[in-house]
A = this chain, B = another copy of it.
Amino acid sequence: MNTGILNANDRAAEQNRGAFKALNLLVLNVVSSPGAGKTTLLTKTLNELKGRLRCGVIVGDLATDNDAARLRTTGAPVVQIATGTLCHLEAGMVAEAMRQLDLRALDLLIIENVGNLVCPASFDLGEAVRVVVHSVTEGEDKPLKYPPMFYSADVVVVTKTDMAAAAGFDRELALKNIRQASPRAKIFELSARSGDGVAAWCDYLVALKAGAGAR
């Protein structure tokens, strides 16, 4: 862990945070393992929030603009960051990407991080809310095996609940492990595919933006 780099990132993150506050912009940093369903969740969320919140997205990927293309189908402005071999987004990269968005025309900025349950944990982007997406197909033990990421969660969204039976998902054990690893986190359970549980998640974001939320 390079302290010098982390400090530079932390300074840039505080600048981002200052900008977000000045613009009254709610910002999420969405992280997960590869394939947990971040893009599917966010596409569904953007569609559901139409007319309620004006949303924009910054999305990081090592390669391809597949996710950006999927997110753009919602009509929301999307900025892609290609990280190459870098396993996480950094605050300075977000600051660069922000310049390509009209932030004053947005209520909610969603940052979709690189699919990785380790590295992004150490890099504050200046977000108000860190969202860890965790699919039922990954196994109930993951919160205990990736403590830094889950500990940093403000919200844990359990996804792919429509596949719980096929995966043999032990819901009680999973929730117990999430509560242990993410003591501060609000927990949502949903399926972006079936739509179950999506309304509660979207209502939470609307309330949070209105200042009635948890932070």
CB distance from A75 to the nearest CB of B (A): 22
- Please, which residues of chain B bring their CB within 8 A of the CB of A148? 62, 85
Contacting pair B163 A66 (CB below 8 A): no
- Please, which residues of chain B bring their CB within 8 A of the CB of A9? none
Which single residue of chain B is at the shortest CB-CB distance from A70? B141
- Please, which residues of chain B bring their CB within 8 A of the CB of A115? 33, 117, 145-146
Contacting pair A139 B87 (CB below 8 A): no
CB distance from A113 to the nearest CB of B (A): 11
- Is residue A187 within 8 Å, beta carbon to beta carbon, of the partner chain? no
Contacting pair B163 A137 (CB below 8 A): yes
Contacting pair A118 B85 (CB below 8 A): yes
Contacting pair B117 A119 (CB below 8 A): no
Interface residues of A (CB under 8 A from B): 1, 33-35, 61-64, 66-67, 85-87, 114-119, 121-122, 135, 137-139, 141-142, 144-148, 160, 163, 166-167
A-B contacts, 27 listed (Cβ < 8 Å): A1-B85, A33-B115, A34-B146, A35-B135, A35-B138, A62-B147, A63-B145, A63-B147, A64-B141, A66-B144, A67-B145, A85-B118, A85-B122, A85-B148, A86-B118, A87-B116, A87-B118, A87-B119, A115-B145, A116-B116, A116-B117, A116-B119, A119-B119, A135-B137, A137-B160, A137-B163, A166-B167
